[in-house]
Amino acid sequence: DGGITQSPKYLFRKEGQNVTLSCEQNLNHDAMYWYRQDPGQGLRLIYYSQIVNDFQKGDIAEGYSVSREKKESFPLTVTSAQKNPTAFYLCASSIGGSWNQPQHFGDGTRLSIL
């Protein structure tokens, strides 16, 4: 079945540690996105990529980094510079730009600080 796979489902980070969240899609979508969800808030865009080897900062990119070396993969690294990383992270993809296409989402990764 086509879809988006995020791993791991739960992740714990120690102080000063970088952690990487995986996102893989087999939908042949060009665009991929990372969102952060905090309790009682909507989704906030961290980074997005419209094409391989290119990505753009979203609204809350500080303390995060991404890469897009393959069409199928868009990993997110939460660096030690992100002082409040505890949140639910969602990866999404769409056929083209988000403006008129629905985004398809993965199951999410819940990140907590040890």
Partner 1 sequence: AQKVTQAQTEISVVEKEDVTLDCVYETRDTTYYLFWYKQPPSGELVFLIRRNSFDEQNEISGRYSWNFQKSTSSFNFTITASQVVDSAVYFCALSEADNTDKLIFGTGTRLQVFP
- Cα(68)–Cα(48) distance, rounded to whole angstroms? 10
52 binds partner 1 (CB under 8 A): no
The upper half-sphere exposure of residue 52, i.e. CA atoms within 13 Å in the direction of its Cβ, equals 7
Q: Which is nearer to partner 1, 80 or 105 (CB)?
A: 105
103 binds partner 1 (CB under 8 A): yes
Q: Which of 32, 36, 48, 74 is the binder for partner 1 (CB under 8 A)?
A: 48
- Cα 83 to chain centroid distance, Å, stands at 17
| Token representation of residue 77 | 């690294």
Where do contacts with partner 1 occur on this chain (CB under 8 A)?
33, 40-43, 45, 48, 56, 58, 88, 90, 92, 97-100, 102-108, 110
